[in-house]
Structure formats: structure tokens, C-alpha cells
Amino acid sequence: MRGANIFQLGIKELRGLARDPMLLVLIVYSFTVSIYTASTAMPETLNRAAIAIVDEDQSPVSSRIVTAFYPPYFSVPKLISQYEMDRRMDAGLDTFALDIPPNFQRDLLAGRSPTIQLNVDATRMSQAFSGGGYVQTIVSDEVGEFLNRYRGGTTVPVDLVLRSRFNQELNKSWFGAITNVISSITMLSIILTGAALIREREHGTIEHLLVMPVTPVEIMLSKVWSMGLVVLVATSVSMIFIVQGLLNVPINGSLTLFLLGTGLLLFATTSMGIFLATVAGTMPQFGLLLMLVLLPLQVLSGGVTPRESMPQIIQDIMLAAPNTHFVMLAQSILFRGAGFDVVWPQFLALIVIGGALFLFSLQRFRKFLR
């Protein structure tokens, strides 16, 4: 294995990429526009959550509740009749429907413990699950304040002071930006190496390389470093100008350490790209395989929903995927400001996974060239 060959062949790959304008446009797009729109579109957990209220009480306390819901967290509540409630929920118009029963205030003050009904459209995923708690808290607070005028000294004087660390306002777009950067890194690195390899074989240029004094390891390493470099540069630019610049996401930790981790991820994903190309015979098969690989990588790596809530078996399987470790590492470094002393296990895991993928792909690649 000679470094010079690897270097020369890698330069060739870069020159080739430089002359494919369509691909360059797509790279730029996926690291700028795509990240920007995806993270700005991503709402806060509760953003204009559609709520409707059936006010059968029409009392001071019920109107107090109605006015407690306002944008941006909630849409201005629609005042509806009980009859309308079911129909509107069926049509998916409201996520929440609050039903304040008749004589609510009277019963409340009389200690008859009345019940407010909160209907949640549970098919609405995130909003339904976390929004329910919000609605409850808001209603309780309003009722509590109302009651404070009527009685005293019956509550336990304990306050819960909640503080969110690392992202005080729980700004989802911060998180979304990083998640999208990670998706772009994975998608691009796999496509650039994999599809380029299939194209090279279809055009017969890979065969030509083999009659020259270069070994498969050199060919593969040259693809890994050159395409990895492209994605790494794109990532750096995207992190500095789009994520930090345009989107104003504060980065707590060291960007250098993050990029170092990205380098390791790229080692693993570019190897994976080569592997997929050797498995797929044709471009259409590669395209399908790509979908099969990308979606689980994106969804199950912990970047979309928390890992600890997934079934144990999936957590275990996903430990073999480089993205899982990278998501952990990225969150620790970028949001929690963790240093190398904290994230070294993820670095180690990436090295091991990347190395294994590389060796495995190399073996397949040798056969592929036959």
C-alpha cells in the first residue's frame, strides 16, 4: 500500500466530482437550504397546537380557562358545541378538545370535585403526548389562582423549580438543525462512494485501474478519504455558516472535536457505501437498498426519538450502526459541551465499527472487481 497512490487516486475522484455540476448542486442544497428549511419548519413541541373548548359552564372560571390558551403555543381556542367536538376531532381539525361541564364553578367551590374532560387526538404523536401535560398544567394553574381568592393555607408550600439545561427554552430547531446535518452526512457519504463506484464499473474505468500497479485497498482508501473530505468540508461550512450563523444555534462544546468525530463517522459510512455498491448489481437495486438503509439509520439512531424508549433489542442492534454513536457524541459535544474525557467511548466505538465495515467492504470489493 502506498500513500502516494492513495493520494493521487483521491485527487482524481475530487476532480471528477468537480466536473459534475448536478451533484455539486445537490451537495450544496442538502447542506444549506435543506437544513435551513427543515429546522425552521420544525415547530416547538407546542406550536399553534389546535385546541377547541366546549364551555358549558359560562362562568368566570371557565372564561378564565378559555383565555389562558393563546399563540404561539396554542391556536386561539375555537369555542364549539359538544356536538361539534367529535366531528372536528374525527376530521383531524383539533388536537385537543377541552370540555368544561355545566355548573363547574359551583361544584368546584362546593368541594364536589367536578371533572373537566380533556380529549386528546392520540394519533397526533408528539404533540398529543407532551401537549396533554401542558394543557393540564395550564388548567390547574388557572383554577388554582382563581381559588386563591377564596381560601388560604390549604396548600403545601412546596414549589417545583424546573430548569432545562443546555437548551433553556427547549428550542427544537437547534436540535432539528443538528439532526438534519447528521442525516445529510450519512446520505451523502453513502451515495457519493456507492453510486460512484457502480457508475465507474458501468463505464469500465474501474477495470482499467486494476491493470495498473494499484491494489484494491488503495482504490478503496482513495475513495474513502476524498469523498469523506468533501462531506467533512461541507459539514464544517454548514455548521459554521448555517447552523451557527444563520440559525443562531449556540454550540456549547468544541467544534473541532465534533468534526473529528464526523471524520470517524465518514470512515464508517463511506465504507458502508462501498459495501452497498458491491451488494447491489445495478443502480435501481442500489437505490432501493439505500432507502432500506437510510431510513432506519435516520430514525433509530436516537436522532428523532430517544433511544432509551426503544425496545431493548432495537437498542442493541442499533449499537452496531455508526450513526447511533455519532448522535450520542454530537449531542454531548454540541449541546452539553462535553469534552473528549466524556465522549471517548463513542470515539472508540466509531473506530471499531468503521474498521470492521472497512475490512468487510474491502473483502467484498476484492470479489466485486473479479
Partner 1 sequence: MSPPSGSPEPPASVVRLRDVGLSYGTTRALDGVSLDIPAGVMVGLIGPDGVGKSSLLSLIAGAHVVQSGHVEVLGGDIADAVHRRLTCPRIAYMPQGLGKNLYPTLSVFENVDFFGRLFGQDRAERQRRIDELLRATGLDPFPDRPAGKLSGGMKQKLGLCCALIHDPDLLILDEPTTGVDPLSRRQFWELIDAIRRDRPNMSVIVATAYMEEAQGFDWLVAMDDGRILATGTPAELLSRTGTPNLDAAFISLLPEEKRRDHREVVIPPRAGDGAEDIAIEAEHLTMRFGDFVAVSDVSFRIPRGEIFGFLGSNGCGKTTTMKMLTGLLPATEGTARLFGREVDPNDIEVRRRVGYMSQAFSLYSELTVRQNLDLHARLFRLEPEAIPARIEEMAARFDLEDIMDSLPDALPLGIRQRLSLAVAMIHAPDILILDEPTSGVDPVARDAFWQILSDLSRKDNVTIFVSTHFMNEAELCDRISLMHAGKVLISDTPQAIVEKRGAHSLEEAFIAYLEEAIGEKATAGPAARLPAAVPTATGTPAAAPRRFDPRRMFAYTQREALELRRDPIRATLALLGTVILMFVVGYGINMDVDNLSFAVLDRDNTTLSNDYVQQIAGSRYFIEKPPITDYADLDRRMRAGEISLAIEIPPGFARDVSRGNKTVEVGAWIDGAMPTRAETVRGYVQGMHAAWLTQKARELYGDRAIVGDFQIALRYRYNPGVESLVAIVPAMIPLLLMMIPAMLAVLSVVREKELGSITNFYVTPVTRFEFLVGKQLPYVALAMLNFAMLVAFAVFIFRVPLTGSLTALSTAALLYVFATTALGLLMSTFMSSQIAAIFGTALLTLIPAVNYSGMIDPVSSLEGAGAFIGHIYPTTYFMTIARGAFSKGLGFSDLAGSFIPLLIAGPVLIGLGIALLKKQAS
The nearer residue to partner 1, 119 or 236, going by C-beta atoms, is: 119
Shortest distance, CB of residue 231 to partner 1, whole angstroms?
13
End-to-end CA distance of the chain: 20
- Name the amino acid, one letter, at 145: E
* DSSP H or E stretch at residue 37: helix 33-41
**Shortest CA distance to 171 belongs to which of 96, 252, 248?**
248
Q: Cα 297 to chain center, whole Å?
A: 11
Shortest distance, CB of residue 110 to partner 1, whole angstroms?
8
Q: Find where cell 444549506 sits.
A: 32
Shortest distance, CB of residue 279 to partner 1, whole angstroms?
10
Shortest distance, CB of residue 162 to partner 1, whole angstroms?
5
The length of the chain, given as a count of residues: 370
Shortest distance, CB of residue 189 to partner 1, whole angstroms?
12
Q: What is the dihedral of CA 100, 108, 67, 128, to 10 degrees?
A: -50
Shortest distance, CB of residue 213 to partner 1, whole angstroms?
4
DSSP string, 219-266: HHHHHHHHHHHHHHHHHHHIIIIIIIIIS-PPP-S-HHHHHHHHHHHH
**Shortest CA distance to 180 belongs to which of 247, 233, 229?**
247
Q: Are 184 and 31 in contact (CB under 8 A)?
A: yes
